Amino acid sequence: MNVAGCHKRQANGYVIIKPTMNHVEIEAKEIRPNVLIFTQSGWIDFYECYKDFVCKKCGSFDWFLATQNGLHAPPTLPARIPDIVTTNDNRAWIVSYRFKKTVEEYSKKLARFIPIPNQKDHYVFLPNDLIFPPKKVRITPEAEYKNEFNLDKLFNGEPHRADKLPCKACGHYSNLCFRRSLFYVPDDVVLCGIVIDTKSMSIAASEELAKHLSEAKLSGLLIKKKSFSRVPNETLIQRKSHS
Ligand SMILES: [Zn+2]
């Protein structure tokens, strides 16, 4: 997926980035066990309509693909939930109409709000810019990971690492790890979802958008104080292409 149209893509797989804005991570404060969208209960009890998107070999569920044409299953949402929560399986953000309005006031181009069947006021929130993990991720065995205290060193400058090779059937890594301190959000991105694996996503927002969200006093929203990696304005840096 093209997340950084203005960056110069080079033959060696590196892109030149000139960061011009800071990005912070935004999160839902709560995972609600009773907010069920994809499964009828628990983690793996999927609704029939989503079963084709579950890998028969490793069990990973591609919810990005499954929701491409909207949601199909009858969801279970409690009567009162905050403006932002994550589903029982921590896969997706469920947001209120107020959250949608606040984001769209800033810009209508930032995200998709997927309607939930029979729910007027809530949506599944999906940033338009999604940064998927690179096809080849550094493999470090779990044992090595546990014994290493300098995690940046273990990640060797790459924001992603995995314990083992991806599933041969679906190509997904299980237990992909992501290190925010090593990740540069492209400078033209206002809002993006950094897909860690099919189970979770880290959401980055520009500081300006985060301020706008913060002023709206939305319930359930956590704006992390720490920014993503940042290099001085004048510096051109290289990072491996993530597409
Ligand atoms: Zn698989």
User: 120-133 pLDDT, tens per residue?
Assistant: 899 999 999 888 88
How many angstroms separate the alpha carbon of residue 166 from the centre of ligand 1? 8
H or E element in which residue 201 lies? strand 200-206
pLDDT over 70 at 16, yes or no = no
pLDDT value of residue 237: 45
How many angstroms separate the alpha carbon of residue 135 from the centre of ligand 1? 14
CA distance 195 to 28: 15
How many angstroms separate the alpha carbon of residue 171 from the centre of ligand 1? 6
pLDDT value of residue 14: 55
56-94 pLDDT, tens per residue?
999 889 888 888 889 998 888 888 899 999 999 888 999
CA dihedral (162, 65, 123, 80) positive or negative: negative
**Residue percentage of the chain with pLDDT more than 90:** 40
pLDDT over 90 at 141, yes or no = no
How many angstroms separate the alpha carbon of residue 34 from the centre of ligand 1? 27
Whose tokens are 């999160």? That residue is: 27
pLDDT band at 136 (very low <50, low <70, confident <90, very high): confident
Q: Are 44 and 16 in contact (CB under 8 A)?
A: no
Write b or e for each residue in 195-205: b if 16 or more Cβ atoms lie within 10 A of its Cβ, otherwise e.
bbbbbbbbbbb
- The set of residues, in sequence order, having a beta carbon less than 8 Å from that of 96 and lying 6+ positions away, is 81, 82, 83, 84, 121, 122, 218
How many angstroms separate the alpha carbon of residue 118 from the centre of ligand 1? 32
Pairing state of beta strands 138-139 and 160-162?
Answer: parallel
DSSP class of residue 134 equals P
pLDDT value of residue 191: 94
How many angstroms separate the alpha carbon of residue 55 from the centre of ligand 1? 5
